[in-house]
Amino acid sequence: MIMAALNCRMSLILNKILTKPSAVFVHSVWLTKRTDRFLSCFGTNNQLHREKGNVSYRNVMTGKVDRFGGITVHLDERDFSPDVSERTFSFQLRDSLSQWRAEGRVAVWLHVPIAQSRYIAMAAEHGFTFHHARQDRSTLCLWLSEGKSRLPAFATHQVGVAGAVLDESSRKVLVVQDKNKTKNAWKFPGGLSDPGENIGDTAVREVLEETGVQAEFQSLLSIRQQHNHPGAFGMSDMYLICRLRPLTFHIDFCTQECLRCEWLPLEELAHTDATTPITSRVARLLLYGLHHGFHHIDLPVEQLPAVYSGMFYQLYHRALPVTAA
């Protein structure tokens, strides 16, 4: 009885629908046409999108284009979520590379924070290699243009700077002996220059840290270049010696780095065997400056505007005669 009643009710409903068009039916036809138009437009947009590079723009990473035609991407910027899986990252990088190639980019620099190092293996699968790493991030690179990569290598030199602090009135120079050395020879206090630090500032800082003496930069005296330097991690070593003028004379040397520190007569330093060849040579250079004038040995510095807007560089050279200026 229940089934018979249901069949009877369904028959009445179907008769009403089939005998005259209803608003529901008309509305259904209208929705179908609207959907067809939407799908048609969607297909057209997709076709145009494929013609532009076959890449979904939403998947392309945001980067900064440099003046050489390369692009730099920092994975720790706000528009990149650190929760992205390795697989999703790989797809996104693939789409980005396709887009960048279509745009004619010549190279990609990818900066990866150490906390997101899991993405490095995915980048390697797309051809990226290490360029360098510093502190909490590594930089990967990929050459996109034709031919052999023309990307510059990372820094190949470390820069050491020493300060020859000369007291002209007493003709004495400040020297130290390094602690824990096989041969404790007299040398000028100094150390490695920090990135972005001028060599004159390095000399002043290192002298103060090692000896407690405050000094003022005067000039560059010499440059030594050495390859296969032990402790330089395979890099070449540049060692620069600057002439400084003392502002204080009291010695309070660092006992962790230095065994001894003294104001030594310049003539003694120039002829003693208890020193290094470069220290002895520079001591004789300073003696010549005392006798004939420091303008014969100094390479003074001049700050000049760089080609990059708002930047400057330091140029060291022998002063030009007034008639040639």
Higher pLDDT among residues 256 and 140, named by residue: 140
Q: Are residues 107 and 146 in contact, defined by beta-carbon separation less than 8 angstroms?
A: no
Please report, as a single letter, which amino acid is at residue 283: A
Q: Which of 25-34, 214-223, 227-236, 304-313 has the lowest mean pLDDT?
A: 25-34
Is there a contact between 142 and 128 (Cβ–Cβ < 8 Å)? yes
How far is 305 from 264, CA to CA, in rounded Å?
40
Burial category of 112 from C-beta neighbours within 10 Å (exposed 0-12, middle 13-18, buried 19 and up): buried
User: From CA 243, how far away is CA 86, in angstroms rounded?
Assistant: 54
**pLDDT tens column, 174-223:** 999 998 777 789 999 999 999 889 999 999 999 999 999 999 999 999 99
Cβ atoms of 46 and 84 within 8 Å: the answer is no
The encoded tokens of residue 278 equal 């470069």
Give pLDDT, residue 12. Answer: 53
pLDDT in tens, 118-152: 999 999 999 999 999 988 999 999 999 999 999 98
**Which residues are CB-neighbours of 150 under 8 A, at least 6 positions away?**
143
* CA dist., res. 174 & res. 64, Å (int): 49
What is the rounded average pLDDT for all residues in the chain? 83
Check if the beta carbon of residue 48 is closer than 8 Å to that of residue 56: no
pLDDT at 278 > cutoff 50: yes
Q: Is 106 helix (H, G, I), strand (E, B) or coil?
A: coil
Q: Looking at 168-298, which runs of residues are DSSP E strands? A: 172-178, 190-192, 215-226, 236-246, 258-265
Which helix (H) or strand (E) segment holds residue 123: the answer is helix 120-125
- Residue 99 falls in which region: left (phi positive, over 0), alpha (psi -120 to 50) or beta: alpha
pLDDT band at 54 (very low <50, low <70, confident <90, very high): very low
Percent above pLDDT 70 for the chain:
80
State how far the Cα of 220 lies from the Cα of 231, in Å rounded to an integer: 25
Cα 305 from Cα 282, distance rounded (Å): 31
One-letter amino acid of 78: R
CA distances for 98 relative to 68, 103, 121, 146, angstroms:
19, 9, 19, 15
103 or 45, which is more confident: 103
In Å, how far are 28, 233, 324 from 21, measured between CA atoms?
11, 86, 103
Mean pLDDT of 315-322: 86
Residue 221 to residue 219: CA distance in whole angstroms: 6
- Give the residue among 156, 127, 158, 149 at the shortest CA–CA distance from 140: 127
Nearest to 226 by CA among 149, 273, 159, 283: 159
